[in-house]
């Protein structure tokens, strides 16, 4: 759509109003008291580069909780170090796969996950220079929707819910950066991907890698916002 048409439809008004039927001109007239403010917000958002941030194993320590429940249920002592280059799914025997999935489906699984160290401080700082979106693959675990929403509100109150993206396939995302621990999510991303180190991705190559949030801060300190 032409920019001028888009602006008219959004009620912002342009010199193209004369092309509209009279009834439409009335409704497309800008509201004087709101116009400068809304335009200022749109201009500010357009000016900032966007960073999409994954939740599980980037902001929230999902693996620690999965391991805790697995070890408790099966009387095991699996540690993150045992998972170098592998997912828990790959080391668990076939007859435990169903239970592994059931842990994630439990109503309370995503409610109290530990926050990954430094993620709050670094994201708060980055939010002054970049527009931050949280992009999490929540649709495959419907019970996680409420807990994830509440978790974000509790631990990252400076990110508004308008910037939560509860999605399925992340190839739909369009942003300047994506921080994610899953290589497959970065492969189809058109912006700059940052692979956040997790035990399962230790052997992945060909990505810009960040091991922790201090390294994320360092990376963005040299990027134009």
User: Would you name the residues annotated as active-site residues?
Assistant: 54, 56
CA atoms of 116 and 155, how far apart (whole Å): 11
Element (H, E) at 135: strand 131-137
**In the complex, which residues of this chain contact Mg ion (CB under 5 A)?**
54, 56-57, 181
Measuring CA to CA, how many Å separate 11 from each of 3, 39, 40? Answer: 12, 11, 15
Residue 57 or residue 65: which is nearer to Mg ion going by CB? 57
Separation of alpha carbons 140 and 137, rounded Å: 7
Distance in angstroms (rounded) separating the CA atoms of residues 181 and 53: 10
Minimum distance, C-beta of residue 192 to Mg ion, in the bound complex (Å): 17
**Taking CB positions, which residue lies at the least distance from Mg ion?**
56
Q: Which helix (H) or strand (E) holds 147?
A: helix 145-155
* Closer residue to Mg ion, CB minimum distance, 56 or 61: 56
Tokens encoding 11: 């009620």
CB of 57 to Mg ion, least distance (A): 4
User: CA distances (Å), 139 to each of 44, 100, 197, in order?
Assistant: 31, 18, 23
Minimum distance from residue 33 beta carbon to Mg ion (Å): 43
Nearer to Mg ion, 56 or 131 (CB): 56
State the DSSP H helix or E strand holding residue 50, giving kind and residue range, or none if neither.
Answer: strand 50-53
Least Å from the CB of residue 41 to Mg ion: 30
Q: Which one, 13 or 87, has the nearer CB to Mg ion? A: 87
């Amino acid at each position: 759509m032409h920019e001028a048409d888009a602006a008219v439809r959004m009620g912002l008004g342009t010199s193209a109003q004369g092309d509209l039927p009279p009834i439409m001109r009335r409704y497309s007239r800008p509201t004087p008291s709101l116009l400068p403010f809304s335009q200022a917000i749109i201009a500010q958002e357009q000016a900032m580069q966007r960073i999409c941030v994954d939740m599980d194993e980037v902001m929230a320590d999902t693996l620690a909780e999965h391991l805790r429940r697995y070890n408790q249920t099966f009387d095991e002592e699996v540690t993150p170090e045992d998972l170098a280059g592998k997912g828990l799914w790959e080391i668990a025997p076939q007859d435990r796969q169903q239970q592994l999935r059931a842990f994630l489906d439990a109503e309370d699984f995503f409610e109290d996950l530990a926050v990954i160290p430094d993620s709050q401080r670094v994201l708060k700082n980055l939010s002054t220079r970049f527009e931050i979106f949280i992009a999490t693959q929540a649709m495959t675990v419907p019970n996680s929707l409420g807990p994830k929403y509440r978790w974000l509100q509790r631990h990252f109150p400076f990110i508004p819910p308008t910037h939560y993206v509860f999605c399925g396939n992340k190839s739909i995302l369009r942003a300047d950066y994506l921080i994610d621990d899953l290589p497959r999510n970065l492969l189809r991303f058109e912006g700059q991907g940052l692979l956040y180190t997790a035990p399962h991705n230790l052997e992945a190559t060909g990505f810009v890698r960040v091991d922790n949030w201090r390294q994320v801060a360092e990376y963005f300190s040299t990027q134009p916002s």
